[in-house]
Amino acid sequence: MMTTAIDRQQKPKFARRSEADMRLKNNRLGMTIFQVSWIMVFLALIIVNWQLRFSYSEWPPAGVASFDPLLPSAATLALLLSLVMVRQGLQTLRRNHVAGFLMRWRGAIALGIAFMAIIVYEFASVSDAAMATQYGVTMRLMTGFHLVHALAILAIMVYVYRSGATGSYSRDEHDSWAVEGTAKLWTFVTLAWLMFYVVLYWIR
């Protein structure tokens, strides 16, 4: 069967998408591919951590105290809660409830800052004994690399929040792509951290 010009006009499913629809669709797919791609860097760092374990007969190496997972667990919890609030904020915005969206994002940003504060503290308090081995060095590599991303994306969140406060977004998906995109980036930060959290604190 051959397609003709006439066929096209007759079949509504062939209707071209509007420019705005197309842009949103592109943004969504582009974001997904970016996330799948960039998570690979985090995966690469996990492989680094994993392969360097074989340089030592035990892990953590002899004479190095293992990291206490208590505070990082609290941070992880804060990050997860923050993610829940980010996603809820997006849904609230979709229901055209801008004030509720802003309230949830305030909470999310606060929890995000709390997460980062704890991880910065953890980063700073790696013992000299640990830093003399790859146990401490890879920990700083991974948390440091993650912190850079968390900071950048948190900054975007703050920026989006401020735009939201001046009424830039509406329930329309096209208008609120910035919110949706930022929420996706924060999801990325959370997923990346969960991987690191398990590798750093639970897999011995």
Partner 1 sequence: MATIAVPLGAQGEQIEAEAVQRPALSEYLRWSVDHKIIGVQYGVSAFLFFMIGGAMAMLIRLELWTPELDVMVSGAAYNSLFTIHGTIMIFLFIIPMWAAFGNFVVPLQLGAKDMAFPWLNAFAFWLIPPAAVVVLLGYFVSPAEAGWTSYPPLSTLFSGDGQTLWALGAHLLGISSIMGSINFIVTIFNMRPPEMTIWRMPLLCWAVLATSIIAVMATPFLAGALTLLLLDRVAGTTFFDAAGGGDVLLWQNIFWFYSHPAVYIMVLPGMGVLSEVLSVHSRKPVFGYRMVGLSSMGIAFVGFTVWAHHMFTSLQPELRIPFMITTMIIAVPTGIKMFSWLGTIWGGKIRFTSAMLFALGFLSLFVIGGISGVMLAALPFDIHVHDTYFVVSHFHFVLFGGSVFAVYAALYHWFPKVTGRMMNERLGRIHFLFTYFGFLFTFFPMHVVGMLGMPRRVAVYVEAFQPWNQLISFSAFVLGFSSFIVIYNVIKSYYHGPVAGANPWRALTLEWQTTSPPPATNFADDPIPFENPYGYGTEAAAAYLDVVDEAFSGGNGSP
Region binding partner 1 by CB under 8 A among candidate stretches 39-47, 152-160, 173-181, 187-195: 39-47
The residue from 33, 65, 77, 155 that contacts partner 1 (CB under 8 A) is 33
Q: Which two tokens stand for residue 48?
A: 């680094």
The verdict on 174 binding partner 1 (CB under 8 A) reads no
CB of 161 or CB of 188, closer to partner 1: 188
Considering the complex, what minimum distance in angstroms separates the CB of residue 39 from partner 1? 8
CB atoms within 10 A of CB 161: 18
The verdict on 124 binding partner 1 (CB under 8 A) reads no
The residue from 48, 81, 178, 191 that contacts partner 1 (CB under 8 A) is 48
Q: Which two tokens stand for residue 108?
A: 């999310």
Considering the complex, what minimum distance in angstroms separates the CB of residue 107 from partner 1? 32
User: How many of the chain's residues bind partner 1 (CB under 8 A)?
Assistant: 41
Region binding partner 1 by CB under 8 A among candidate stretches 24-32, 98-106, 114-122, 191-199: 24-32
The verdict on 148 binding partner 1 (CB under 8 A) reads no
CA 95, CA 145: separation in Å to the nearest integer?
A: 36
The verdict on 3 binding partner 1 (CB under 8 A) reads yes
- Environment class of 70 (CB within 10 Å of its CB; exposed 0-12, middle 13-18, buried 19+): exposed
The residue from 18, 20, 41, 174 that contacts partner 1 (CB under 8 A) is 41
User: Token match 């941070």: residue?
Assistant: 75
C-alpha dist (Å) from residue 202 to 38, 49, 155, 169: 24, 13, 30, 41
Q: Is residue 60 reached through a cis peptide bond, with omega within 30 degrees of 0 on the bond before it? A: yes
The verdict on 62 binding partner 1 (CB under 8 A) reads no
Residue 60's nearest CA partner among 204, 201, 196, 195 is 204
CA 62, CA 82: separation in Å to the nearest integer?
A: 37
By CB under 8 A, name the binding residues for partner 1: 1-6, 8-9, 13-16, 22, 25-26, 29-30, 33-34, 36-41, 43-45, 47-48, 51-52, 54-56, 61, 133-134, 137, 141, 145
